[in-house]
């Protein structure tokens, strides 16, 4: 009798938020012998509302990401837009109701600053001045006229990325509290090994394992913006040629990653002007206070206005 192979599916999701050390945590967790992390970060398979006109990741592509799973107890993936998505929590629950959810957050002023730098690097944002980019948000929303917009435009709605309490509540509406674990970037900076151990305990795997803790996801800038746009908006004929020369999707992903790294400079980000920092602190302070109440944490050091 032929034994039916049970296809592995994820039972763990790092859902965001962006620029909160999710890339580093994904890397550290992938080193654990009892954890398999999807080698392709940001599949966004369950964030279907963010791709109203198609795109994202197909079911066949998504399942193929987990072909390398062995006997690991935890099978995970990381997609930071799962926090932004209004559909992802429900979709993940329908797919895997026993899934464990990791949410990582930081001071919203820092997040917006870092997110802007990232999407400038990714060539989604053409306005390099943070203040002007923020001032454009209402105009961009008005231009959409209430219609669903593709993710390249949605990532420029900066205030959406720091609506933490509503985003967390979406997961608590679908998952029991003991299946949702929240980590603050403050704690990562202060005690990374302790935070990592806490995540391992949450996942129910050996908490004594020690990861490498190498620095991930430093601030980046494109050497060539035109080449960066070419990599993001690759012409169809180039993609077709790549599929012939590199028939395996894994090979194409590695080549794309190598080209992107070659086109990257790592630079320390200039601090934002003090008046802009104060303006954002005032704008986001109510959200930080609500989050502190939700988590039972004192977050008064976030969004300081004095």
Per-residue pLDDT of 261-282, as tens digits, reads 555 555 565 788 899 999 999 9
Confirm or reject CATH 3.30.10.20 for domain 12-116+162-216+284-295, answering yes or no.
no
Q: Calculate mean pLDDT across residues 250-257.
A: 57
Which pLDDT value is given to residue 263?
Answer: 54
Give the contacts of 2 (CB within 8 A, at least 6 positions apart).
Answer: none
Q: Calculate mean pLDDT across residues 131-139.
A: 95
How far is residue 130's CA from residue 152's CA, in Å, rounded to a whole number?
Answer: 17
Find residue 101's DSSP bridge partners. Answer: 13, 180
Per-residue pLDDT of 292-302, as tens digits, reads 999 999 999 99
Which pLDDT value is given to residue 200?
Answer: 98
Give the contacts of 54 (CB within 8 A, at least 6 positions apart).
Answer: none
Q: Which residue has the higher pLDDT, 147 or 267?
A: 147
Mean pLDDT, the chain, whole residue set: 85
Give the contacts of 229 (CB within 8 A, at least 6 positions apart).
Answer: 123
Which pLDDT value is given to residue 6?
Answer: 42
Asked if the model's pLDDT at residue 132 lies above 70, the reply is yes
| DSSP code of residue 92 | H
Lowest-confidence segment of 10-24, 42-56, 228-242 by average pLDDT = 228-242
Both tokens of residue 162? Answer: 């720091």
Q: Which residues of 284-297 are buried (b: 16+ CB within 10 A; e: fewer)?
A: bbebbeebeeeeee
Using alpha carbons, select from 106, 60, 64, 103 the residue that is nearest to residue 82. 103
Per-residue pLDDT of 3-36, as tens digits, reads 333 456 899 999 999 999 999 999 999 999 999 9
Q: How does residue 87 score in pLDDT terms, banded at 50, 70 and 90?
A: very high
Per-residue pLDDT of 160-196, as tens digits, reads 999 999 999 999 999 999 999 999 999 999 999 999 9
- Is residue 17 reached through a cis peptide bond, with omega within 30 degrees of 0 on the bond before it? yes
């Amino acid at each position: 009798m032929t034994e039916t192979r049970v296809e592995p599916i994820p039972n763990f999701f790092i859902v965001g938020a962006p620029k909160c050390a999710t890339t580093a945590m994904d890397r550290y967790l992938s080193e654990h012998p009892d954890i398999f992390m999807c080698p392709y970060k940001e599949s966004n398979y369950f964030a279907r509302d963010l791709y109203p006109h198609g795109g994202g990741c197909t079911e066949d592509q998504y399942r193929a990401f987990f072909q390398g799973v062995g006997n690991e107890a935890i099978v995970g993936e990381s997609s930071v837009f799962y926090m932004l998505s209004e559909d992802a929590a429900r979709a993940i629950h329908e797919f895997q109701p026993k899934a464990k959810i990791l949410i990582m957050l930081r001071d919203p002023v820092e997040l917006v600053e870092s997110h802007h730098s990232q999407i400038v690097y990714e060539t989604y944002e053409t306005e390099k001045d943070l203040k002007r980019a923020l001032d454009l948000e209402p105009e961009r929303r008005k231009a959409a006229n209430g219609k669903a917009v593709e993710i390249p435009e949605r990532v420029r709605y900066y205030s959406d990325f720091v609506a933490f309490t509503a985003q967390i509540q979406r997961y608590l509406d679908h998952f029991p509290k003991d299946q949702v674990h929240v980590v603050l970037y403050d704690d990562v900076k202060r005690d990374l090994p302790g935070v990592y151990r806490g995540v391992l305990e949450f996942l129910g795997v050996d908490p004594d394992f020690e990861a490498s803790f190498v620095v991930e996801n430093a601030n980046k800038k494109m050497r060539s913006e035109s080449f960066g746009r070419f990599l993001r908006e690759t012409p169809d004929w180039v993609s077709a040629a790549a599929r012939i020369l590199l028939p395996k999707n894994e090979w194409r992903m590695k080549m794309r990653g190598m080209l992107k790294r070659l086109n990257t400079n790592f630079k320390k980000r200039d601090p934002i002007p003090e008046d802009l920092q104060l303006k954002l602190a005032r704008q986001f302070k109510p959200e930080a206070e609500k989050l502190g109440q939700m988590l039972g944490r004192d977050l008064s050091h976030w969004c300081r206005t004095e």
